Amino acid sequence: MHILHVVLLLDFLVLGHSSSALNKMWEEWKVKHHKVYDNQTEIIFRRAVWQKNMLLVLTHNQEASAGKHSFTLGMNHLADMTAEEINERLNGLKLEEPAHFTNLTIKEVNSLSTPQSMDWRKSGLVSPVQNQGLCGSCWAFSSMGALEGQMKKRTGVLVPLSPQNLVDCSTSDGNHGCRGGYISKAFSYVIRNGGVDSEKFYPYEHQNGKCRYSVKGKAGYCSNYHILPQGDERALQAVVASVGPVAVAVNAMLSSFHLYRGGLYNVPGCNPRFINHAVLVVGYGTDRGQDYWLVKNSWGTMWGEEGFIRLARNKNNLCGIASFAVYPTL
Ligand SMILES: *[C@@H]1O[C@H](CO)[C@@H](O)[C@H](O)[C@H]1NC(C)=O
Ligand SMILES: *[C@@H]1O[C@H](CO)[C@@H](O)[C@H](O)[C@H]1NC(C)=O
């Protein structure tokens, strides 16, 4: 949105003359994101939530243009949901039990070379961004993203793997489908099951279903997985550089994360201990002197930078990006 519009709209909001401008934006937003609500009560509630988020976005972007923030927010498809709803319905990562940790030794990490920047998308190790919908299956997307990268390295072909396969079939490994799961237990399933199907063979459905794994659709496998030293961004950088995309857990609780539009996400209050969402680190770099992680999310391409976020790097493990990082080995 044009800065002038933002300023004008803010003035309108302050003066209380905003209703027709806002109504128009609400109607356009609903069309763009294919929103249909069940009844009048729901419409009134969603409109109120949307308006609150709109004010947040406008204020934030106004401040960003004045140099107070290094990222902007946008009215994406999540803008009619409260932060609590998003955290409850989309952010289904369970906290890992320490018993599952199989640490890498620091010696191993230090011996790896670390270039200044890395973007595994350029080497074709990253499949298209998907949208998990209102299902807490982030753990399945994150883990399959890491496995897709390793499979591509091994076979030379990038085949999107099936998060639905994990949602439906890994309950006995300790996962809970759309109600959440663990990155490590996603890999445990693939190891135990002897493989995982392709997305094409076993497509995503946004909800729990009956397990329909078939060896006919098998496109991925792994024999082990490794958990990086907790909170160590240097180790994460080294492993991303030498191994490929790494599944990680982050704090995605803040509205600024839900409505992230673009730029370098750097929120000082993003506590590394409050982890609730699984994503995929696909690279890293430096922009105007500020280090960042390049991260793939599973909230569709309307969110962030075509579905990706650049998250501040070497800022004391901001948002817990290195608190729980895992990669599989074939
Ligand atoms: C209106 O729709 C919402 C959401 O779909 C639903 O939870 C609620 O029960 C509905 N209320 C009425 C009065 O039908
Ligand atoms: C892994 O490292 C953590 C922290 O250094 C430690 O508490 C834990 O016991 C280690 N786990 C294993 C399996 O070595």
**pTM > 0.85: yes or no:** yes
CATH architecture of 83-329: Alpha-Beta Complex (3.90)
In this predicted structure, what is the pLDDT of residue 17? 45
Please, what is the Cα angle at 280 between 117 and 204, to 5 degrees?
Answer: 140
User: Which of 169, 277, 317, 319 does the annotation list as catalytic?
Assistant: 277
* C-alpha dihedral, 93 to 97 to 102 to 103, nearest 10°: 80
Element (H, E) at 54: helix 40-65
Which residues are within 8 A (CB) of 276 and not within 5 positions of it... i.e. 6 or more apart? 87, 91, 93, 249, 251, 252, 253
Question: What single string gives the DSSP state of each residue in 56-71?
Answer: HHHHHHHHHHTTS-SE
pLDDT of residue 75: 97
Distance of CA 135 to the CA centre of its chain: 13
Q: Is 41 in the pocket of ligand 1 (CB under 6 A)?
A: yes
What CA–CA distance (Å, rounded) separates 297 from 250? 11
pLDDT above 70 covers a percentage of the chain that reads 89
Mean pLDDT lowest among 105-114, 267-276, 281-290: 105-114
Concerning whether 138 is annotated as a catalytic residue, the answer is: yes
* Residues 6+ away with beta carbon under 8 Å from 85: none
Q: Is the pLDDT of residue 99 over 80?
A: no
CA 118 from chain centre, in angstroms, equals: 18
| Per-residue confidence (pLDDT) for residue 244, from 0 to 100 | 97
- Ligand 2 closest atom vs CA 103: 1
Choose among 310, 328, 313, 329: nearest CA to 142. 328
Q: Mutation test of ligand 1: which of 39, 44, 134 has the most ligand atoms closer than 8 Å to its C-beta?
A: 39
**Whether residue 97 has its Cβ less than 6 Å from ligand 2:** no
Q: Which CATH architecture is the domain 12-73 placed in? A: Orthogonal Bundle (1.10)
Cα of 81 to ligand 1 centre, how many Å?
15
Inform me whether the pLDDT recorded for 10 exceeds 80: no
Residue 41 CA, closest ligand 1 atom number: 1
Residue identifier of the C-alpha nearest atom 8 of ligand 1: 42
Contacting residues for 241 by C-beta, under 8 A, at least 6 apart:
112, 113, 114, 115, 118
Residue nearest to atom 3 of ligand 1 (CA): 42
Q: Poorest-confidence range of 98-107, 205-214, 273-282?
A: 98-107
H runs (alpha helix) in 156-254? 163-169, 183-193, 233-242
The active-site residue, picked from 135, 138, 178, 270, is 138
**72 close to 64: Cβ distance less than 8 angstroms:** yes
Rounded to the nearest 10 degrees, the angle between the axes of helix 3-15 and helix 40-65 is: 120
- In the chain, domain spans: 12-73, 83-329
Predicted pLDDT at 14:
47
Burial state string for 129-164 with b = 16 or more CB within 10 A and e = fewer than 16: bbbbbebbbbbbbbbbbbbbbbbbeeeeebbbbbbb
Mean pLDDT confidence for 149-162? 98
